[in-house]
Structure 1
């Protein structure tokens, strides 16, 4: 399933190819004819498209659809589940032909080009959808606000955030208190320097280079207010990259960090070759089955940040603005994402509901003494006040630019300031072309 993890978005929160943005821009608002009314009888045949969920949750969704149809006998829901691969391309093709499904599973970055092209509904602009806003947490609803477009463009659905896993034994070997893991970036870099020094460079603390999310959690202003320019080359951004460069030189950052994928970084943590790695509850079974000595010494804490606001990954359901049966599509999207059904889905897998008050329930607030329970409660607590640091206008090409410039800085080919200045300049050119 699309499982949002701290390693960028993993399969779940896939990036938007530049081609999607370009195609939708070419389409322009109103693709497929005039929008239908958002109010009226709940009736008609609608299509519900999810993103790589059928294999694990077939029974759940079929039961959910049956229940909705029994409540609304004049509606028929056709469920279409798409594989994770090329999902954005599928959306692009459907948008270009005016044949988007009525209800569409999207992450914020996938919603943005659809919203910009005027092919999905503005939830704040329609009385039929705006009335539901109080049912969701403010952070989740705000997660689908689109800069420069005004409004929210999807019903928030499931959320995730990731704890930081750490190896208690490696911290102890470095003379650090394993019960006091780093809470902010100053502490993180101190710990990493100490572990590298005590291990004589054999044990790095981190296995991956910083992403845009790290800049956000460090307290860097990523974009200007209307999201027309990137700004992560400001002094705080240069400071963060400079500290990573120093860590790389000291051995606190893995020597292969420039080429490590999230999977490779995870494997190095599993084999106890690095001291810390972000993850999710889905990793616990892997640790328990394949690295029992790590599992016995596993520390779980919130990912360090300087802002007091952790990162949040989220999924939502958008409604096509060209749906011929918009009242039925709205009713179904709301039904899937209502409090009862979100909580039920959250019990099925390691995701969290975006509805108000849900995370106060015992399942997400009371530690049951298991490692899975600790991760679940830790993550649920981290979602309080969390934000999506990933700019919705940042596509895969822009991420590649940032990653390549960071590599140049770490290798000493450019100064951190020059590398970030160049990354911002190239990415801003792409934004202006859009």
Structure 2
């Protein structure tokens, strides 16, 4: 369950679904927005690469639902991570989209635009209060009214840092940076002390980083991007200074989350974002690092950390709306989410669940320390990545950021060009 898998080829979904946007309202093709009828009928439920590790859990959920609603039958299907967006595209275009589908916000956007995602603000408004506000809002689409998936499991994580590298550079490992000014100052000092051999960061800024810095990413209508504002230029300028000082890893321009993680494991960089899932990897793959691991909060100018969110969407054209909505809610209700969260290092999106002792009480281990801190931060976390920000847009931004860091363009020109490219792609989405 990779943390960023929601970014898989969302552009492919949009490309295939655009012709469907003229097909009519969400309840065309035999579907209905009325979920108040009898819960009955045969439905299909599709998950995203979960069968291998969680087969007994999901078989239990299906059995419990069918016991509660004896006139239903749920067929559970699971798709591999590779090509998941393409599979959804093909099913949507071919009219074979399952009744209930595991999605991420970027995948639900084109489905909603094509009238294939049920508006839960209309069909399931009574359930809204059961979920965290930020989680419920994560499946809203700019320029559209409505919410198009139940929020499911969440994740976020701290910044990990290498205490040994901090200490060797004369930094106070007990007081890691808590603001951007601290981060940039300490990064430059660490690079200077190590003569450029150890960088602090391994990744160039992404749209999520601009959001955390307090940059206005889009206009409220969802019709244009805005991350080339003065604050956006300020952040990219600071990254350019880090890059020149070798405080940003020289391979950051082509880095992936996996390659950055490896650099952190080997001590080539001093800090790296992560989640509770990473602690087990540190313990197994880099025991010396694990013994000297520092854990601190995400740095943000907004007071809100970033939240990764998965959702469960109902096909607007299902023939069994009541059963599909009931099952999507059943999978994501507080009881089921709490049970799932105890099997894997994720967090429930249901209101009140994060107040459970499991998420509030430490036992002296790093694992519980990360879990408690993450749970606390998730209560008011937001998903900074705009749901309309496609893979092509991410590439356009990354390319322009690289030009700015290399000195080929000014930070202002780079972001102006990135916004122009992303606005063009946005217009093509329809």
Q: How far apart are 1:30 and its partner, in Å? A: 4.3
Q: Give the match for residue 24 of structure 1.
A: 17
2:179 and 2:376 map into 1 onto residues whose CA distance is 17
| 1:306 to 2:320 alignment | no
What's the CA shift string for 1:390-427, capped at 9, x where partnerless?
00001000000000111111111111111110010011
Describe how 1:23-422 pairs up with structure 2 within 5 A.
Answer: 23-28=16-21, 29-30=24-25, 33-36=29-32, 37-126=34-123, 129-422=124-417
Question: SS where residue 76 of structure 2 aligns?
Answer: strand
Question: SS where residue 125 of structure 1 aligns?
Answer: helix
- Asked whether the equivalents of residues 132 and 379 of structure 2 are also in contact (C-alpha less than 8 Å), the reply is no
2:7 and 2:420 map into 1 onto residues whose CA distance is 24
RMSD: 1.2
What's the CA shift string for 1:353-387, capped at 9, x where partnerless?
01111111111111111111111112112212110
Question: SS where residue 22 of structure 1 aligns?
Answer: helix
1:363 and 1:301 map into 2 onto residues whose CA distance is 20
Gaps of 5+ in 2: none
- Asked whether the equivalents of residues 401 and 427 of structure 1 are also in contact (C-alpha less than 8 Å), the reply is yes
1:305 and 1:283 map into 2 onto residues whose CA distance is 21
Q: How far apart are 1:16 and its partner, in Å? A: 4.0
- Asked whether the equivalents of residues 15 and 109 of structure 1 are also in contact (C-alpha less than 8 Å), the reply is no
Question: SS where residue 131 of structure 1 aligns?
Answer: helix
2:25 and 2:68 map into 1 onto residues whose CA distance is 31
What's the CA shift string for 1:314-343, capped at 9, x where partnerless?
011110111011111111111111111100
- Asked whether the equivalents of residues 155 and 317 of structure 1 are also in contact (C-alpha less than 8 Å), the reply is yes
Q: How far apart are 1:17 and its partner, in Å? A: 3.5
2:6 and 2:183 map into 1 onto residues whose CA distance is 26
- Asked whether the equivalents of residues 30 and 318 of structure 2 are also in contact (C-alpha less than 8 Å), the reply is no
1:206 and 1:278 map into 2 onto residues whose CA distance is 9
- Asked whether the equivalents of residues 120 and 153 of structure 1 are also in contact (C-alpha less than 8 Å), the reply is yes
Gaps of 5+ in 1: none
1:365 and 1:68 map into 2 onto residues whose CA distance is 30
- Asked whether the equivalents of residues 162 and 379 of structure 1 are also in contact (C-alpha less than 8 Å), the reply is yes
- Asked whether the equivalents of residues 47 and 103 of structure 1 are also in contact (C-alpha less than 8 Å), the reply is yes
Q: How far apart are 1:172 and its partner, in Å? A: 1.3
Question: SS where residue 248 of structure 1 aligns?
Answer: helix
Q: How far apart are 1:34 and its partner, in Å? A: 3.7
1:285 and 1:339 map into 2 onto residues whose CA distance is 26
TM-score (norm 1): 0.96
Q: Which moved more, 1:151-160 or 1:25-34?
A: 25-34
What's the CA shift string for 1:60-84, capped at 9, x where partnerless?
0001111111111110000010111
TM-score (norm 2): 0.97
Question: SS where residue 132 of structure 1 aligns?
Answer: helix
Q: How far apart are 1:153 and its partner, in Å? A: 0.7
Question: SS where residue 348 of structure 1 aligns?
Answer: coil
Q: How far apart are 1:143 and its partner, in Å? A: 1.0
What's the CA shift string for 1:262-307, capped at 9, x where partnerless?
1111011001111000111121122112211111110011111111
